[in-house]
Structure 1
Amino acid sequence: MDRAPFHPGPPAEVTATPAGDRWTLRFVRDLRHPPERVWAALTDPARLREWAPFLADRDLSTPGDAVLTLVDGDAVVAQPATVRRAEPPRLLEYTWDEDLLRWELTRTADGTRLTLWHTVADRGLLPMVAAGWHLCVDVAERLLAGDPIGPIRGAEAIGFGWTELRDTYARRLGDA
């Protein structure tokens, strides 16, 4: 897989809102693939390993406990997760350690509008979270288009524009 021509796409639509004593990032991207294909990329462990920041120990398309293993180079950290809602192919909600992620897929004329709500404890993390998901979704888009480049995770992301994305998202989110 040749990553040399990979460059991140334009910034996503993002907002930050308080959620009690936590903060929620709303991250919106349009993808050129139908919701059913995007759903499979969000739930199938074999597909997740090709783009997500974690490995899943099971298919996430049904409610119940799971383990999501964060990968950063040789470092791996298994973290508990619980799929709370799974309504294929439109809604997936799960906890990941102390975070809450909610993915909504809406059919559009050209494919799917993907909306991710990612709730974290620290507002200052939101630009970093947005930059990470930005790269992951770009990689997922390539995977869905039949041009996989392999996951870009952890410290490796710095070499693929993560720092610039983080700074862009910090400005858009009001220097979160």
Structure 2
Amino acid sequence: MTPHPEHSEHPDTITTADGRTALRMERRLAHPPQRVWDAITQPAHLAQWFPSEVTVELRPGGAMGFLFPGDSEPAMTGTVTDADEPRVFAFNWGEDHLRWEITPDGEGSLLTLVHTFGDRYGAASFASGWHLCMAALAQHLDGERADVRRDTGGELHEAYVERFDLGRGVVEHTAAGSRIRFERQLVRPVETVWSELTAGSEPLEGEPAPEGFTTPATPPGPVTELHAPDLLAYAAPAGGEVRWQLTKGTGHGPRLNLTQTLPRPSDAEATLSAWQTRIDELAATLRKG
């Protein structure tokens, strides 16, 4: 069984600055630095635990290619930025940057990954993915066949959402008024999310929004815009608009973007709290489904 993130000896963390987020993960491995270096840089070893096949020119400025299962040619390319054997291996992967650092730790090593990217709300997807990859790496180094249970239920993903506080909404105050905003990565296909929100009954423009899109603080109003299974907006009875949009996400399912404009800023905190409860309930239901 893959260990829960809260049980890690070194807590996994994220920091965000200037629109970029850095995910930091540390793992102790019972193998010397050179062996770990070979496992994270040589394509034959990478094929046993990394999420894609890799080609690499192991020098600063060297080209990299990433071939995912089912693709006939590399879907992404990268460039090596550091190759200091057996200490540091770093590269660009699309718009992201990955830095692997190996330090001696007794008879073994401490492996540190810093993954820097622009999509803060994708951090739980990246962390849960790397969590499983690093568990597979440890198995490979131990001479075992990498056999890590996939996070099919989203339990690991949701644990990272909680750890990184990625489920919290915000109130934005502008000259045009106040707005509630939530962004959250979900763990089921968009069709499953839509079915849960609509309770299997398709909404219609001009009719009241289904209960799944509402809260006690924001009861249903007439649907003003509808593009199943990606978008539903409705007029809130007290004024303003509620807008649910499901866009492409990071690995597990769609990204939920929910906003509500408010005619009275004094209602913001109560409205925010009600939506927090509703979205947490949705995420928990999807995880169990």
| TM-score bucket of the superposed structures, by smaller chain | 0.7 to 0.9
Per-residue CA deviation, residues 20-39 of structure 1 (Å, 9 max, x unaligned), is 22111011111111111111
Per-residue CA deviation, residues 80-134 of structure 1 (Å, 9 max, x unaligned), is 1111111111111110011001111111125111111101111011111010001
Question: Over alpha carbons, which structure has the higher Rg?
Answer: 2
2:163 corresponds to which of 145, 150, 172? 172
1:108 corresponds to which of 87, 105, 110? 105
| Mapped contact 1:68–1:80 kept (Cα < 8 A) | yes
1:131 corresponds to which of 128, 133, 136? 128
| Mapped contact 1:54–1:68 kept (Cα < 8 A) | no
Deviation at 1:19, TM superposition (A): 3.6
1:74 corresponds to which of 70, 74, 98? 70
Report runs of 4+ in structure 1 exceeding 4 Å deviation: none
**3-state SS of paired residue (2:86):** coil
How large is the Cα RMSD of the aligned pairs? Answer: 2.1
Cα distance between partner residues in 2 of 1:70 and 1:24: 24
Match of 2:36 in 1: 38
Match of 1:48 in 2: 46
1:8 corresponds to which of 2, 11, 36? 2
Any stretches of 5+ residues in structure 1 without a counterpart?
1-6
| Mapped contact 1:32–1:111 kept (Cα < 8 A) | yes
1:149 and 2:123 aligned: no
RCO greater where, 1 or 2, for CA within 8 Å and sep 6 or more? Answer: 1
1:158 and 2:137 aligned: no
Q: TM-score scaled to structure 2, two decimals?
A: 0.52
| Mapped contact 2:87–2:101 kept (Cα < 8 A) | yes
| AA partner of residue 158 (structure 1) | D
Q: What are the equivalent positions in structure 2 for 1:55-66 lying under 5 Å apart?
A: 55-60=53-58, 62-66=59-63
2:91 corresponds to which of 70, 94, 99? 94
Which structure's residues are more often strand, by fraction? 1
The percentage of counterpart residues that share the same residue type is: 38
| Mapped contact 1:25–1:126 kept (Cα < 8 A) | yes
| Mapped contact 2:15–2:23 kept (Cα < 8 A) | yes
Aligned residues: 162
Q: TM-score scaled to structure 1, two decimals?
A: 0.83
Deviation at 1:66, TM superposition (A): 2.2
| Mapped contact 2:20–2:119 kept (Cα < 8 A) | yes
**3-state SS of paired residue (2:3):** coil
Any stretches of 5+ residues in structure 2 without a counterpart?
168-289
Deviation at 1:78, TM superposition (A): 2.2
